[in-house]
Structure 1
Amino acid sequence: MLKKLGQNIKNWVSNKMDLPPDVLLELPRITMIGQLHIYIENHRGLLVYSDKELRLLLKNGQLLIKGKDFVLKTMLPEEILLEGVIEHVYFVNE
């Protein structure tokens, strides 16, 4: 119940202060350009990387990206730019 109250307060503050929800709620911001680029902000770390799969830790779960010919173009503490053929993007709640 306390967790839900905190979430409601964050939503209210976000609306009143015109802040984007991803900033206040610590949600990932994902920008895709076709199937060729995906830019992810506000992640919690890289878990798995190969030329066919990328898995990132999020505040609530994980982000799984599958495809082929993956190349990490940029990797910063909370930002990643991935290039390749992106076939699937999944949110995993584990």
Structure 2
Amino acid sequence: MKPMRKHINQWLTGRLQLPADIVYDYPRITLVGDIHLYIENHNGLVTFESDLIEVKQQNGLIRVHGENLVIKNLLKKEIVIEGKIYNVQHKK
């Protein structure tokens, strides 16, 4: 990240108290129990299998391992995954 942009992002998160996920374009991941997973601010679906779903994000992949995984909702910047979710990993 360029020094000036890094400085501006730090100012936005520090002084204006804007959430880092918005300023830095990070995904927001919400896991409800072990059956619902919401991923906001993603960059596309890479892999879709009943035991593995991979979603592209700014600097890598979000890997969701489980069983009977289904995509309940897929929008440009939001995805909802349901099934028995075992783990969620970030892979660069």
| Whole-Å separation in 2 of the counterparts to 1:91 and 1:26 | 15
**Identity fraction in percent:** 34
In the alignment, what sits opposite 1:66? 65
Return the offset for 1:4.
5.5
Return the offset for 1:11.
2.1
Q: Which amino acid aligns with 1:7?
A: K
Structure 1 alignment gaps of length 5 or more: none
In the alignment, what sits opposite 1:79? 78
TM-score, with length taken from structure 2: 0.92
Return the offset for 1:9.
2.7
In the alignment, what sits opposite 1:88? 87
Q: Deviations over 1:54-76 (max 9, x none)?
A: 10111111100110011111110
Return the offset for 1:53.
0.8
| Whole-Å separation in 1 of the counterparts to 2:27 and 2:6 | 16
Alignment of 1:47-66 (within 5 A): 47-66=46-65
Structure 2 alignment gaps of length 5 or more: none
Quote the RMSD (CA, aligned, Å): 1.2
Aligned to 1:7, what secondary structure does the other structure show? helix
Q: Which amino acid aligns with 2:45?
A: L
Return the offset for 1:12.
1.9
| Whole-Å separation in 2 of the counterparts to 1:7 and 1:63 | 24
TM-score, with length taken from structure 1: 0.90
In the alignment, what sits opposite 1:7? 6
| Whole-Å separation in 1 of the counterparts to 2:40 and 2:10 | 20
Q: Deviations over 1:14-34 (max 9, x none)?
A: 221121110110001000011
